[in-house]
């Protein structure tokens, strides 16, 4: 082996080691656990397809799947619309524009548990800021986190607020790449701001939108900290996410094999949904 090849293998060894230890091994271990019963105390025993059959007939699991899709149905459109609107606003010449850009990104780097505790206080039925404002304008307080109808939408709004800064940066980067000549040409045509947005800005930002949808979907399927801290999965299990159910089975019931089965099912679900999204949005991009 030549010296250049030895140097190449030596330089890639740390990354390969990291990949094997923290990616390949956990995936293979999870796949093995699907066919085992293991409670972290006794030795694992062969389960065959028991975990898969249990998953297929587990009403709580399918309830968590439905909850996660409800969350995504609210969160995705809200995330895209909010991030795009803020990016368009921050792309204009503003006083202290750098400050505003940093301010919107700040929640992204704050601990999710801290944000969840803060918003739990804001959502409090009796003393929360939101209900105090509603009371002052003559409306009745809303049980944001204790009503099955409002709990998941309330969490979706909070998650959107926390993550929007990251997606604003993605859209801002896309806005920088819209050629100035195209903007000037369409302005000369005398089109309205809405037409300019619809026929130039929005099509130009389609690659960024695909990225935002993909990342938001993956992060949405991993919803955990917010329902764990704010509602514990209630009320009536309406905020019980897939990852929260996985966590409960793994560390409350010590069903590591079944938890691994949920994890594998979640990974397959994410892959399928993202593939469908990419195909649909990719078709729109080709047009």
User: What is the three-state SS of 163-188?
Assistant: HHHHHHHHHHHHHHCCCHHHHHHHHH
| More confident: 101 or 135 | 135
Taking the mean position of all CA atoms in its chain, how far away is CA 195?
A: 31
Angle between helices 112-123 and 151-176 (to 10 degrees): 130
Task: Express each pLDDT in 219-266 by its tens digit.
Answer: 999 999 999 999 999 999 999 999 999 999 999 999 999 999 999 999
Token pair of 39, please? 């409670």
Task: Give the residue-averaged pLDDT of 67-74.
Answer: 97
What residue ranges define each of the domains in the chain, with the CATH number in brackets?
1-25 (no CATH), 58-286 (1.10.3720.10)
Residue 39: pLDDT above 80?
yes
**Nearest in space to 270 (alpha carbons), one of 233, 223, 204:** 223
Residue 21 is given by DSSP the state: I
Lowest mean pLDDT among 1-10, 12-21, 242-251: 1-10
Percentage of the residues of the chain whose pLDDT score is greater than 90: 71
Taking the mean position of all CA atoms in its chain, how far away is CA 269?
A: 14
Residue 287: pLDDT above 80?
no
* Whole-number Cα distances in Å, 14 to 7, 17, 166, 178, 229: 12, 5, 29, 39, 37
State the pLDDT at residue 47.
92
Do 163 and 79 touch, CB atoms closer than 8 A? yes
Residue 1: pLDDT above 70?
no
Residue 10: pLDDT band with limits 50, 70, 90: confident
How far apart (Å, rounded) are the C-alpha atoms in residues 97 and 136? 33
């Amino acid at each position: 082996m030549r010296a250049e090849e030895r140097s190449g293998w030596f330089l890639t060894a740390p990354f390969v080691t990291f990949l094997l230890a923290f990616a390949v091994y956990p995936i293979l271990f999870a796949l093995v656990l699907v066919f085992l019963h293991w409670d972290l105390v006794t030795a694992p025993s062969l389960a065959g397809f028991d975990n898969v059959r249990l998953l297929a007939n587990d009403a709580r699991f399918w309830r968590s799947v439905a909850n996660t899709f409800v969350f995504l149905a609210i969160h995705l459109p809200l995330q895209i619309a909010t991030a795009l609107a803020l990016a368009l606003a921050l792309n204009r010449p503003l006083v202290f524009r750098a400050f505003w850009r940093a301010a919107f990104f700040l929640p992204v780097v704050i601990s999710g548990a801290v944000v969840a505790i803060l918003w739990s206080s804001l959502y409090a039925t009796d003393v929360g800021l939101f209900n105090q404002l509603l009371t002052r304008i003559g409306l009745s307080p809303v049980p944001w986190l204790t009503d099955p109808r409002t709990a998941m939408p309330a969490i979706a709004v909070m998650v959107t607020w926390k993550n929007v800064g990251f997606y604003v940066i993605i859209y801002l980067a896309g806005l920088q790449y819209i050629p100035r000549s195209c903007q000037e040409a369409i302005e000369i045509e005398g089109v309205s701001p809405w037409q300019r947005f619809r026929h130039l800005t929005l099509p130009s930002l389609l690659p960024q939108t695909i990225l935002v949808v993909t990342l938001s979907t993956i992060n949405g399927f991993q919803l955990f900290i917010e329902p764990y801290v704010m509602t514990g999965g209630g009320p009536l299990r309406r905020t019980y996410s897939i990852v929260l159910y996985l966590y409960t089975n793994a560390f409350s019931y010590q069903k590591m094999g079944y938890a691994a089965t949920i994890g594998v099912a979640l990974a397959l679900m994410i892959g399928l949904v993202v593939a469908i999204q990419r195909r649909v949005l990719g078709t729109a991009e080709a047009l």
